[in-house]
């Protein structure tokens, strides 16, 4: 009887490496896949010597498994980079990890895994996927400091049915210990989170502008009385709730309250409470465990940014794509473009993109 074949997305980091080891120990036939996501600008990517590829290949050789480098740069450009560019152009602050998980890791890479004959795709995410009432559901990982369920809310049910996440019941220290015990070369390396943007440094918005064209305009910092306090050279550099780096001295700490993409003006305020909102509107919603009927209302706990404390709320389904959440208390810096994700205990119910 042949073993169940699993493709593991191997970034070269310790998490995905240990995920591959654990699955192999559980009796699966494991094959490693390392994605080339970024377009090769000025020879920036060298498949033979790229550090992530080298580390992933070394682990694959140690485990005695196949290893493939898959070029998904075109898909990444269209589904992640261009979406981020469009968000910035409309004064939204995108969450590239949520885009990447939905369209690339559990979209493109899952299709690639199937082309290799894999029955499942596995990753090193710290989340649990468990059967609840006969349905495979997404739950928070055991390690509260590493839980990544927020970033996976957009992965549809039909995709999640073919996903394994062996690290969901581990904490990070245990994963590093396993790596060290097995002599992995990356046992003490830093996390590879957001590695797809590291090659361009922290100014990836400038990379987006250079590649896809202008996405912003200069403007003014103005207060709620219309007084102009300063100017800026591009609104894409600022986000709701931002306090540092504004170059605005109004006598008290200033916060960004609103960004107007039409005029380029940025509304600032010294009243932090005015940047807190209890009503959140969402589009591009994804609900787990079946569709939600339009007009239905239900209770949940929600968060509008990663690692924020979950707060009780009431959600109303407006249509198949839209929903509104009213929170029990105001939340700071509800930011257009970011994602609101909702839970029932540890179980993810779904969420959407904030407008």
β partners of residue 315: 298, 325
Q: Which of 196, 285, 313, 339 is catalytic?
A: 196
Q: What is the 3-state secondary structure (H, E, C) of 285-343?
A: EEECCCCCCCCCEEEEEEECCCCCCCEEEEEEECCCCCEEEEEEEEEECCCCCCEEEEE
Backbone angles phi, psi at 265, to 5 degrees: -75, 145
Task: Tell me how far apart the alpha carbons of residues 215 and 311 are, in angstroms, rounded to a whole number.
Answer: 34
Of these residues, 72, 84, 100, 313, which one is catalytic? 100
CA-to-CA separations, 89 to 121, 222, 229, 238, in angstroms, rounded = 34, 20, 23, 12
Structure tokens given for 184: 């992995």
Q: At 32, give phi and psi (nearest 5°).
A: -95, 145
Structure tokens at 305: 């940014």
190 CA to centre of own chain: 18
Active site residue 84: no
Rounded Cα gap, residues 65 and 318, in angstroms: 48
Any catalytic annotation for residue 196? yes
Closest CA to 75 of 33, 30, 107, 45: 107
40 CB-near residues (< 8 Å, 6+ apart): 73
C-alpha 308: how far from chain center: 14
Distance CA 75, CA 340 (A): 25
Backbone angles phi, psi at 344, to 5 degrees: -120, 95
Q: Which residues are catalytic?
A: 100, 196
């Amino acid at each position: 009887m042949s073993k169940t074949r699993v493709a593991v997305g191997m970034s070269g980091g310790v998490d995905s490496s240990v995920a591959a080891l654990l699955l192999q120990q559980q009796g699966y036939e494991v094959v490693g896949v390392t994605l080339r996501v970024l377009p090769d600008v000025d020879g920036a990517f060298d498949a033979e010597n790229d550090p992530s590829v080298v580390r992933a290949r070394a682990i694959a050789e140690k485990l005695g498994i196949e290893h493939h480098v898959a070029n998904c740069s075109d898909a990444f450009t269209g589904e992640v980079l261009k979406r981020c560019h469009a968000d910035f152009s409309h004064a939204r602050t995108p969450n590239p990890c949520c885009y990447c998980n939905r369209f690339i890791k559990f979209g493109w890479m899952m299709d690639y895994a199937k082309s290799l004959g894999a029955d499942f795709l596995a990753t090193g995410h710290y989340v649990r996927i468990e059967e609840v009432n006969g349905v495979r559901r997404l739950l928070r990982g055991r390690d509260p400091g590493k839980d990544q369920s927020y970033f996976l809310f957009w992965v549809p049910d039909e995709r999640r049915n073919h996903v394994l996440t062996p690290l969901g019941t581990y904490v990070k220290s245990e994963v590093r210990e396993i790596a060290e015990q097995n002599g992995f070369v990356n046992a003490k390396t830093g996390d590879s989170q957001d590695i797809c943007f590291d090659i361009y440094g922290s100014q990836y918005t400038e990379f987006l502008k250079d590649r896809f064209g202008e996405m912003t305009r200069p403007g003014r910092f103005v207060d709620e009385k219309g007084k102009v306090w300063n100017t800026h050279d591009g609104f894409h550099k600022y986000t709701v709730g931002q306090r540092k780096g504004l170059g605005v001295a109004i006598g008290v700490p200033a916060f960004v309250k609103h960004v107007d993409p039409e005029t380029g003006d940025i509304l600032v305020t010294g009243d932090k409470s005015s940047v807190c909102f209890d009503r959140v509107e969402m589009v591009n919603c994804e609900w787990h465990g079946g569709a939600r009927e339009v007009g239905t209302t239900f209770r949940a706990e929600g968060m509008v940014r990663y690692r924020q404390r979950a707060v009780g709320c009431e959600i109303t389904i407006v249509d198949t794509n839209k929903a509104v959440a009213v929170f029990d208390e105001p939340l700071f810096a509800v930011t257009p473009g970011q994602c609101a994700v909702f839970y029932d205990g540890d179980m993810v119910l779904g969420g959407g993109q904030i407008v």
